[in-house]
Amino acid sequence: MRVGDVGRAEIAPTHIGFGPGAGVSQWGVRLSGYIQSQYQWSQLSEDQIQQGGATLNQNRFMVRRGRLRISGDWKWAAFDFELDGSTTRGPFVGVRQANASFVWRNPDAARPPYLMVTAGLTEAPFGHELRLGQREMMFMERSLGSLAFFPGPVDVGVRVRGGIAAFRYDLAIMNGTPLDDRAGARNTTDPTRAPDYIGRFGFAARPGKHALSGGVSLLYGTGFHRGSEATKNKLEWIDLNENGAIDTGELVAVPGQAATPSVNFRRWAVGADFQVGLRSKAGWTQILAEGTIASNLDRDLIVADPVVVGADLRELHGYVAVIQELFGRAVVGARYDYYDPNTDLLDRRRGEFVPKAAAIHTISPIAGALLPPGWIPGVRGRLVFQYDAVLDSLGRDSRGVPANLKNDQFIIRLQGEF
Amino acid sequence: MRAVLLAFALIAACTGEVEQQIGLFEPIRVPDGELLDDEPPLAEAGPKVTSLDTSSGILTVGQKGRLLSGRTTEDAHAIAVRFDGLGSGWWVRPVQDKNPMFPGERDFQLRHDIGGGAPPGVHTLLLAAIDEAGRRGPAFELEVCVRDDGLPDNLNACDAAIPPPALVITLEWDQDVDLDLVVETPGGKKIAHATPTSGEKVETEVPSGVVKDPSTGRLVRDSNAGCAIDGRNSESVVFQEPPARGTYLIYADLFDACGAPGTLFSAAVYRRVERDDGTFALVEDARTGGALVDLQATGGGQTPLYVMASKQP
């Protein structure tokens, strides 16, 4: 195990048919990389543009991730620097890892170090998926709730992690503005002076030929309600009599508005994750489960802002997944993913407030073929198909009442690594 | 090490740096003035404000670039302003030259904004002249009324004897998006940005008598229309007099997300209440919230999102 892999999920079956990349190593410095090319199809696709100019078509080939990583690994120190090139939102190249570490190693090289202090752009230590690394993940993307809480897995800060026997710890102080994993996304800098505090306490054990791991994660941070900038005067036409022409009294002066202040708010999350790896003649069976309850943490999907709504938004997220390796040649699996961006949302019906469902359910079966190790020396690969059946209330029926939106999708991804 | 830390602390304390505050939380803001942290000492015999000109005593929350001008006694070096009992301090800026028409007096001008920290209602604005030593003279009091145009109330916040509209339906949201309030009347007419009243068309237009009828609902503003951000992020439909009986359906229509990932919104219904003493108030009757994401932007071409219903007795 490389030191740089410490703190990521250590459960062995995350490397089904894939294993550590071959890479190129010299003098403690290692060059490695991987490319994820894919074709995706979505029920949302139309040969039209959306209001605002974005194209509605999502049926296309793309390079989702093209990573090149250089890492150093010595007795007391380590570093990682990773670049990403992709066409997710048009051609893009950007940094995805840039950190340096001090390491106090365990004499047993197979075990994680007692202490590793990392500074720079590195993974936020929350839950299992987020720390897994995009290369090792068998599903195409993280679950919806994880993507909403953390638009990207990495953030800038200081991280302290390690392990003693079966105990694992991973703590960090970070900006609280994760770098969006989707290349070409809007760049944001941390708007608040207060950092976010993130941590996970867990365990990893190997009873017999099987594997067990899990942990509890915590996050406490500061969110930001953006104030508005001052605006200029403008003229507005309101066609009161609907005749399509400007008549007396239909031109309204809209005076410029003074700037309004930005306001901070608290956000927090508590999560638990559990992974089981069972070894059989067919290969590894992985059972993964993770749940998170959070407050005001959605930073991407339905961005939490309690200032306007006047109340904290509580989010609930969880998933269970099963992945089965088949004799080192294939893999099948499925994931059920639940995300509710506002568990307290109420609707008013017949004069009474009733709970309103905003939850999004995603069922994602996968099937894939693995390139047997050694067929192409130094190269590993897999071809995986994933279908996402999405049940939500983002659509509207003819009365305007929320309804399930047709937004299922599938992705076929070819991943090659050296 | 301790000596180094002490040296840093001493340097930091002795540089005379002042904290820069933009004062966005203040109920009144003077963009080219300074916000004082401490209350200036009062000198009864100090400089005085001798005259004050203002265009109106009605201030609107968010109003920008209002002007207060006037004169002080000659010994004034600065003019200070604040709301009585509101905000964290006085805003000050220098006074101007002596006024040749009024010997012994100086002119001043205060351009100011009205911030969101000013609650609607009647307040007292205090102005004071500041002398060379930083002491303020006696305050000049100006009674003003603050109103919030996000909730049209016919100035009921200023004078409770003025009746507010019979029914106001509002929609407000948190992101700079073009979100539209749509209200469907019991008769099926949708009040929206393209059809801004509850009046029905007769041939080519809604008759002017219907438009002016106080029981006709009217859209007050099309906020952020075409993503031209106006800083309001709110729209209202106002019925000056009770509208037709029946159920009014309230919708939110995300016309354009304007590059934002989505928005949280809150819709509310307010009704006029007459009190026993003959005064009136606008009271919130119902409120519900929701969210829209960018892929739900309609461009006005699809059914808007149903939010809630309000029954008009």
Compare B237 and B36 and report the one with higher pLDDT.
B237
- Kindly state the average pLDDT of the residues B23-50: 86
Flag if A257 and B289 touch (Cβ within 8 Å). Answer: no
Compare A157 and A378 and report the one with higher pLDDT.
A157
Asked if residue B209 belongs to a domain, the reply is yes
The pLDDT mean for chain B works out to: 87
Residue numbers in A near B230 (CB within 8 A)? 231, 234, 254, 257
- Kindly state the average pLDDT of the residues A243-264: 84
Q: What is residue A241's predicted lDDT score, i.e. its pLDDT?
A: 81
Domain count, chain A: 1
Q: How far apart are CA B304 and CA A401, in angstroms?
A: 9
The SS3 call for residue A309 is helix
Q: What is residue A29's predicted lDDT score, i.e. its pLDDT?
A: 86
Asked if residue A11 belongs to a domain, the reply is no
At residue A118, does pLDDT exceed 60? yes
Structural domain containing residue B263 = 167-312
- For B247-293, write each residue's pLDDT tens digit: 999 999 999 888 888 888 889 999 999 999 999 999 999 888 888 88
Residue numbers in B near A234 (CB within 8 A)? 228, 230
Q: What is residue A44's predicted lDDT score, i.e. its pLDDT?
A: 87
Interface test with A, best of B222, B264, B292 (most A CBs within 10 A): B264
Counting every residue written for chain A, the total comes to: 418
Lowest mean pLDDT of A118-127, A180-189, A290-299, name the range: A180-189
Asked if residue B5 belongs to a domain, the reply is no
- For A303-325, write each residue's pLDDT tens digit: 888 887 778 889 999 999 999 99
Asked if residue B36 belongs to a domain, the reply is yes
**Do B182 and B254 contact (CB within 8 A), yes or no?**
no
Asked if residue B228 belongs to a domain, the reply is yes
The residue from B147, B182, B212 where one domain ends is: B147
* Nearest-CB residue to B231 (from A54, A228, A261): A228
Asked if residue B205 belongs to a domain, the reply is yes
Asked if residue A251 belongs to a domain, the reply is no
Flag if A236 and B208 touch (Cβ within 8 Å). Answer: no
Q: Which phi and psi (to 5°) does residue B18 adopt?
A: -115, 150
Joined together, the tokens standing for residue A38 give 């894919």
pLDDT band for position A14 (50/70/90)?
Answer: very low
What's the gap in Å between the CA of B225 and the closest CA on chain A? 9
Domain count, chain B: 2
- Please report the DSSP string for A188-226 in residue order: -----SSPEEEEEEEEEE--TT-EEEEEEEEEEEEEEE-
Residue numbers in B near A58 (CB within 8 A)? none
Residue numbers in A near B217 (CB within 8 A)? none
What's the gap in Å between the CA of B239 and the closest CA on chain A? 14
- Answer yes or no: do B217 and B137 share one domain: no
Cα dihedral B174/B175/B177/B183 (nearest 10): -10
What's the gap in Å between the CA of B249 and the closest CA on chain A? 10
Which domain CATH number covers A197?
A: 2.40.160.10
Asked if residue B108 belongs to a domain, the reply is yes
* Nearest-CB residue to A308 (from B62, B222, B266): B266
pLDDT band for position B118 (50/70/90)?
Answer: confident
pLDDT band for position A20 (50/70/90)?
Answer: low
Asked if residue B161 belongs to a domain, the reply is no
How many CB pairs below 8 Å do chains A and B form together?
171
What's the gap in Å between the CA of B261 and the closest CA on chain A? 7
At residue B9, does pLDDT exceed 60? no
- Answer yes or no: do B201 and B97 share one domain: no
Lowest mean pLDDT of A18-22, A151-155, B35-39, B42-46, name the range: A18-22
Compare A299 and A254 and report the one with higher pLDDT.
A299
Lowest mean pLDDT of A4-13, A123-132, B152-161, name the range: A4-13
C-alpha dist (Å) from residue A165 to A15, A114, A125, A391:
22, 9, 19, 42
At residue A3, does pLDDT exceed 60? no
C-alpha dist (Å) from residue A13 to A128, A279, B179:
13, 9, 48
Residue numbers in B near A347 (CB within 8 A)? 288, 308
The pLDDT mean for chain A works out to: 86
What's the gap in Å between the CA of B98 and the closest CA on chain A? 31
Asked if residue A274 belongs to a domain, the reply is yes
Q: What is residue A298's predicted lDDT score, i.e. its pLDDT?
A: 92
At residue B129, does pLDDT exceed 80? yes
pLDDT band for position A216 (50/70/90)?
Answer: very high
Asked if residue A193 belongs to a domain, the reply is yes
Q: What is residue A18's predicted lDDT score, i.e. its pLDDT?
A: 39
Lowest mean pLDDT of B2-16, B79-93, B253-267, B290-304, name the range: B2-16
Residue numbers in A near B56 (CB within 8 A)? none
Percent of chain A with pLDDT over 90: 49
- H/E stretch holding B6: helix B2-14
Q: What is residue B203's predicted lDDT score, i.e. its pLDDT?
A: 84
**Do B294 and B227 contact (CB within 8 A), yes or no?**
no
Asked if residue A313 belongs to a domain, the reply is yes
Asked if residue B10 belongs to a domain, the reply is no
* Nearest-CB residue to A51 (from B116, B261, B298): B298
Asked if residue A276 belongs to a domain, the reply is yes
Compare B285 and A27 and report the one with higher pLDDT.
B285
CA angle A385, A153, A73 (to 5 degrees): 100
**Do A173 and A145 contact (CB within 8 A), yes or no?**
no
Residue numbers in B near A238 (CB within 8 A)? 193, 196, 219, 222
What's the gap in Å between the CA of B80 and the closest CA on chain A? 20
- For B80-89, write each residue's pLDDT tens digit: 999 998 888 8
Q: Which residue has the tokens 């919708």?
A: B251
Structural domain containing residue A69 = 64-226+258-361
The SS3 call for residue A132 is helix
What's the gap in Å between the CA of A207 and the closest CA on chain B? 46
* Nearest-CB residue to B174 (from A54, A300, A305): A305
- Answer yes or no: do B227 and B108 share one domain: no
* Nearest-CB residue to B211 (from A50, A240, A303): A240
- Answer yes or no: do B291 and B252 share one domain: yes
- Answer yes or no: do B45 and B137 share one domain: yes
Q: What is residue B8's predicted lDDT score, i.e. its pLDDT?
A: 57
Percent of chain B with pLDDT over 70: 93
Residue numbers in A near B176 (CB within 8 A)? 228
At residue A143, does pLDDT exceed 70? yes
Flag if B206 and A401 touch (Cβ within 8 Å). Answer: no
Lowest mean pLDDT of A332-341, A398-407, B154-163, B282-291, name the range: A398-407
Q: How far apart are CA B197 and CA B216, in angstroms?
A: 7
Lowest mean pLDDT of A108-117, A161-170, A394-403, B132-141, name the range: A394-403
**Do A306 and A297 contact (CB within 8 A), yes or no?**
no
- Answer yes or no: do B176 and B237 share one domain: yes
Which domain CATH number covers B97?
A: 2.60.40.770
What's the gap in Å between the CA of A73 and the closest CA on chain B? 33
Interface test with B, best of A238, A252, A406 (most B CBs within 10 A): A238
- Kindly state the average pLDDT of the residues A36-57: 86
Task: Name the closest residue on chain B to residue A257, using Cα atoms.
Answer: B62
Flag if B205 and A353 touch (Cβ within 8 Å). Answer: no
Compare A374 and B211 and report the one with higher pLDDT.
B211
- For B167-212, write each residue's pLDDT tens digit: 999 999 988 899 999 999 999 999 998 899 999 988 888 898 888 8
pLDDT band for position A39 (50/70/90)?
Answer: very high
- Answer yes or no: do B194 and B78 share one domain: no
Joined together, the tokens standing for residue A208 give 């017999």
Percent of chain A with pLDDT over 70: 90
Asked if residue A242 belongs to a domain, the reply is no
